[in-house]
Amino acid sequence: MKPFFSSILGTIFYPVYKDRALKKCIECEPFIKKGSKVLDLGCGTGIVGLAIKNYFQAEVLGADVVDQRTVNIPFQLINGKTLPLPDNSFDVVYIAHVLHHTENYLNLLKESKRVSKDKIIIYEDLPEGFLSNLFCQTHGFLFNIICMFNREKNYFKQEERWVEIFNSLGFQVVHKERLKVNSFYPIKYIQFVLIKK
């Protein structure tokens, strides 16, 4: 059964999410080829996955620990530690604002490396500065309570720490860019593009 609040929020904010999904597609344009096979890991509502499918004429599979889809994309339920998918089965693994929600982020990165043929695109919020850190912690707490019905801690990290983790797992960071939702949004976030060394 889908979490009630996340389904309602996904429906209410669909126009906003749809606009942000298109923006993410434009940001990813240099890194996703038309017709690619893409795993949207931690797909949530599936709105970004659907945008990737349409924008890149891609074959998209959404995967998450809970089915929160508000749009129809193919979906695989996962346990948050391993991916029941074959090696090298996706051109791109897309992980947006997910890793900070799970203590198993190392496993998910290793599994992403295993199932990816080419690139892994990651978006992460950065707890840098008072306001960004405050909003990261508040967002993490509310997301866990409202959407996941748990009180797990969050795993936000600074940019340098993420780079250290990626390097330790045998990734090369080929691109990183700090991005803004808009001038008023206080959370800083970054896009990383990784390839296997």
Q: Give the model's pLDDT for residue 58.
A: 98
Q: Residue 72 pLDDT more than 90?
A: yes
Helices and strands of the chain, counted as H and E runs: 6, 7
Place of tokens 């748990």: 150
| For residues 148-165, average pLDDT | 77
Tell me which residue of 96, 100, 52 sits closest to 74, measured CA to CA.
Answer: 52
pTM for the predicted model, two decimal places: 0.84
CB 51 within 8 A of CB 21: yes
46: domain CATH number is 3.40.50.150
- The total domain count for the chain is 1
Q: Tell me how far apart the alpha carbons of residues 91 and 112 are, in angstroms, rounded to a whole number.
A: 11
What tens digit of pLDDT does each residue of 10-64 get?
566 666 678 889 999 999 999 999 999 999 999 988 999 999 999 999 999 999 9
For residue 131, the enclosing domain spans: 4-196
| Residue type for position 89 | S
Give the separation between CA 99 and CA 108, rounded to whole angstroms: 8
Q: How many CA atoms lie within 13 A of 134 on its CB side?
A: 5
pLDDT of amino acid 1: 43
What mean pLDDT, rounded, does the chain reach? Answer: 85
d(CA 57, CA 36): 8
